[in-house]
Structures are given as C-alpha cells and as structure tokens.
Amino acid sequence: MQLRPLSWLHKTSEHTVRTSTEQDILLRRAAEITSVPVTDFILQSACKAAELAVLDQRQFFVSGHERRQLIDLQKAEPAPPPALGRLLAIEPPWNGSSALRAPEPLIPEHSIHQFDCGKHALNDWLTHRARLTQLKGSAKTFVVPVQQRVIAYFSLTVGQIDSRELPAHGSITLDREQFPVPVILLTRLAVDQTYQGKGIGRALLREVLMHTLAVAEQAGVEALLTQPLNEQAAHFYMAHGFVQSPAAYKQLLLTIGDIQAAKAALGTSQPGAALSAAKQ
C-alpha cells in the first residue's frame, strides 16, 4: 500500500465557525494579544489541538476494505524491505567519541525546557506532559542528552486496532479471531533543530525498533505504528520501511515479523539481544 499524497484532498477548504458573543469577544481579545488576525488565531489554535488529538489516539477501528487489508498484512509472510535492514545496521552516533549519550529514560534531572525541534506539538509535549506520563506509566519517554540537556527524544505507548464488524450470531470466524490487534505506538520522535541533519533521527528510529522487539519478546504485540504530522515526516518513515496502515490515513506501520526478519538477516540476532540493546 502506498501513502496517498495530499493532492487527493482539496488544496484549500472553507469551514464555517459559529460562535456565541462571549466566544467571539474572547477570540478577538486573544488574537489582538498575539498580534494576528482572528481567523489566523482560530486556525492556528485548531491545528494545535488537532495535532494533540492525533498524537494521543490509542484506539483505532477498521471495517470493510480496510479490515480486509489489515488481515492480509497479518497473514503475509515477513518480507522486510532492504531499507529496514540498512536502518538496523547503522552505527548510532552516541557509540563513537561524541558528547551524545545513548537514549535513556526521562528523569527529573534532565533539562528539557530549551528543546526546540521546530514543531510546537512535539516541543510542548516534552516540556509539559512527558514527565507526568512517565510517572503514571501511560507512556515512556527516552531522551538523548548532551550533559543533561535533552537534544532528542522519542515516546512509546501501547494501543490496539479493532474491527467494527462482528461475527455472525453464534459463530466466531477465523477473520474475527484476528482482532483486536495489539500494537506499539511511536507517538513522538523529535530532534532539536541545532542537532538536525546529523543522523540522530535515524539512530533514534533504530532504537525504537530495538525497544519494540524487546517488548515483543515479553508480551504480545503485532506491529509498530506511528502517525506523522506532515509529509516530510511521513516520507522519513517510509524511506525506512514503514508502509501505509489500513487503520487511518497517514498512519504508518511495521509488522513485528518484518522487524524480526530484518534483524535476523543481519546475522547478529541472538535470543535476548533486543532486550539487552533496549536497556542500554
């Protein structure tokens, strides 16, 4: 499956927004404070909220043709693309004589407030929500520090894809037994603008795959999912082997089978190796 380009959508869309008098006054006051036209303020605020809604999604549903596509993906023999093997074979920059430290769990001593990857939703989540979700255990964040300053991070959690279609009364079909599909969600991956273009993003994605394999050795998960916020990010993931998920537009996935097969093809896979690498 190929990711449909944005050209399949209208280039521009118009949305009518009805507000009460109090809401209109509030919006105009806020727009004046931020020195932008009120329509721009509404659009910017709505897009920020939309990004958070997409990145925080944990439950997905499929039906009809998409449901059939997902079942076919589950049943397919592992066939990892060459790009996936190349990603797993790279040498992370923190393994050399670099000031970078390998990804480690986020702790209070890490300095996060200077982080700026150029994307508000990713910056804001790290500075305002990552530590809380770490404490609650609802998502785990791993950071790359220089001394104690965070210059890159990724966050993982769990989710599932389920079917909206129920089996016939009194019967359980083999297709229905494919659901729900437990998955690992790569909710966020970002690199500070100062360190972009140095291969850190690729190395982080490799680390994500190793963590995913570690989880798969200990619990039942079938795929790694991510939801890029723009075309540039989508092409980054697709260049490393991700394919379009049937569960949502612009949601991308890698099956656990493909990741395992790519790692085995390197000739370095040993029982427990992924778990050891993930703990580093």
Catalytic site includes residue 237: yes
Is the CB of residue 143 less than 8 Å from the CB of residue 150?
yes
Strands 149-163 and 140-146: antiparallel
Separation in Å, CA 193 to CA 117, 167, 206: 5, 50, 20
Give CA separation, 20 vs 13, 24, 37, 38, 80, in Å: 23, 6, 18, 15, 54
Give the DSSP H or E segment for 114. Answer: none
Joined tokens for residue 233:
């990010």
d(C-alpha 44, C-alpha 30), whole Å: 12
The H-or-E segment that residue 40 falls in is: helix 38-55
Q: Do the beta carbons of residue 94 and residue 209 sit within 8 Å?
A: no
* Among the listed residues 228, 148, 223, the one whose alpha carbon sits nearest the alpha carbon of residue 187: 228
> CA 44 from chain center: how many Å?
22
Given the residues 153, 195, 237, 249, select the one marked as catalytic: 237
| Residue type at position 80 | P
Q: How many Cα atoms sit within 13 Å of 212 on the Cβ side? A: 32
**Active-site amino acid positions:** 237
